[in-house]
Amino acid sequence: MKTSLLNLALVWYSLSVHTAFAHTEKFPTALTIREHSDRFEEKEESHNTHEAHDPEDLEVFNPTDEWQTLKPNQAVPPGSHVRLNMQTGLREAKRGEEEGLKYWTDGQRAQQLKEALKKYKGDNPSKKEAGQADTSTSSQFRSVDELKRDMEALEFLMETDAEIMHKLLSKFNSTSNTVDQRVTALLDLEYLVHQVDNAKNLVSMGGLKLVTDALNNTDVRIQESAAFVLGSAVSSNPTVQIEALEGGALQKLLTLLATPHPVSVKKKALFALACLLRHFPFAQSHFVELGGMQVLGDLFKEQGVDCLRVRIITMLYDMIIEKELVFKTDIEAVPNSTQQQYAKYSLHPMLVEQGWCNLVPELLNSTDHDQREKAVRTLLAMRPHCQTQYQQNPSLTNSLISLQKEYQTLALTEETQGEKDGYFNEILSLLDSLVVKIH
């Protein structure tokens, strides 16, 4: 009993001392709260806790180095010190040490943010004053133009692809810019024109003409980049293919391939040419008329262009197979006009006349599996018209027999690893088919 009374006395004494210190002016007891940098001070709960304050009613507190009493619902900037005065029961705040407060002490900027907040709220002041509630759909959503104006005021306006393309074209077309700057503009443009709509916008802006004309530029870097943009723009885009053909792109690309230029330029020119001709029989017909097959043959014979040879035979293979599929497909699936366009030209006689039956087998000597595969596929596609040349070429027969043995071993290794239909087995099947058809 004595111990309990003693403990009770000690508790009572402790409370008395704490209360005495709390009511002296020398030691004003207060609860100090340090604000986090990314949040405002939470509002004090009112008697009607279910009523939320409208954001536009918040007043931004402007802190100083002295403690100031906060008004009800007043927002405190990040980094401020906040405390609860135990004597008055009111909240007080002052400036924190962080430099981030400098942003909030600018009264003009704070006012701008408050006004922007009001705009995004989308309330009609006249209705608010009249106490009318706007429940229409238009009051809940703002138009695009209004949002753009508000975003522009806050320096958050986003540019559309069309606007970016317009700036890139202006940058490329400006003679005051360096070659590096103009090349960078073209490469950025190439990234955008992969999209069908952007490529069409390139035409409407006059950008396709600028790019096509740049194929004749004296700087090889601009020629290479322009060919890259052209190929990406016309790829799987019939509308742009037609515009490019009418703008003279085909002639300019053939000129690049037929005249002395770095391999890098011709590589991009072949890319653009392949994209322009793909599924475009009208362009393929013009290609043949302009001597395109002869240009490719001369390029194939050049020294040090192994990477170009694969692209060339791939283009030939695609053109041969594409035409064959059109005539093998049901007439209801392929319009008669399309077949008529493909019928206007023939590749097979030119393949024989210009020596392609003996040129393509040269790629079989490559050690690259991809080059071998594409060579065998092209040889199979040309076989109906190159049968005699194949049979009269002993080096072709020897190469095919040697490759058969090599890929039989590789295919067997694949099968032991659980790949019955692997890549090497596929090449072996192509070789077997070609050997059987030749003999």
User: Looking at residue 331, what is its pLDDT?
Assistant: 57
**Whole-angstrom Cα distance, residue 328 to residue 344?**
17
Q: Residue 110's pLDDT is what? A: 55
The two three-digit tokens of residue 130, written as one number: 């009249």
* Packing angle, helices 306-328 and 369-391, rounded to 10: 70
Give the sign of the dihedral formed by CA 207, CA 209, CA 212, CA 217: negative
pLDDT of residue 303: 86
Q: What is the 3-state secondary structure (H, E, C) of 297-328?
A: HHHHHCCCCHHHHHHHHHHHHHHHHHHHHHHH
Whether pTM > 0.85 for this model: the answer is: no
Look at residues 206, 269, 209, 203 and name the one whose alpha carbon lies nearest to residue 238: 203
Q: Can you tell me the distance from the alpha carbon of 137 to that of 119, in angstroms, rounded to the nearest whole number?
A: 16
Q: Which residues contact 139 (CB under 8 A, 6 or more apart)?
A: 122, 123, 124
- At a CB cut-off of 8 Å and minimum separation 6, what does 336 contact? none
Report which secondary-structure segment, H or E, holds 255: helix 249-258
Domains (range + CATH), the chain = 27-101 (no CATH), 106-131+140-158 (no CATH), 160-272 (1.25.10.10)
In which element (H, E) is residue 413 found? helix 394-416
Residue-level pLDDT at 52: 45
Please tell me what DSSP assigns to residue 92.
E
DSSP string computed for 32-46:
EEEPPTT-PPPPPP-
CA distance 261 to 295: 14
Per-residue pLDDT tens, the chain, 439 aa: give them.
Answer: 444 444 444 444 444 434 444 444 433 444 444 444 443 344 444 444 444 444 445 566 778 878 888 777 777 777 677 777 777 777 888 876 544 444 444 555 556 556 655 655 555 555 445 445 455 555 567 777 877 777 666 555 567 889 999 999 999 999 899 999 999 999 999 999 999 999 999 999 999 999 999 999 999 999 999 999 999 999 999 999 999 999 999 999 999 999 999 999 999 999 999 999 999 999 999 999 999 999 999 999 998 888 899 999 999 999 999 988 887 775 555 667 777 888 888 888 888 999 999 999 999 999 999 999 999 999 999 999 999 999 999 999 999 999 999 999 999 999 998 888 899 999 999 999 999 999 8
Location of structure tokens 């590096």: 180
User: Is the CB of residue 376 less than 8 Å from the CB of residue 435?
Assistant: no
CA 391 to chain CA centroid, nearest Å: 50
Give pLDDT, residue 439.
80
> How many residues would you count in the chain?
439
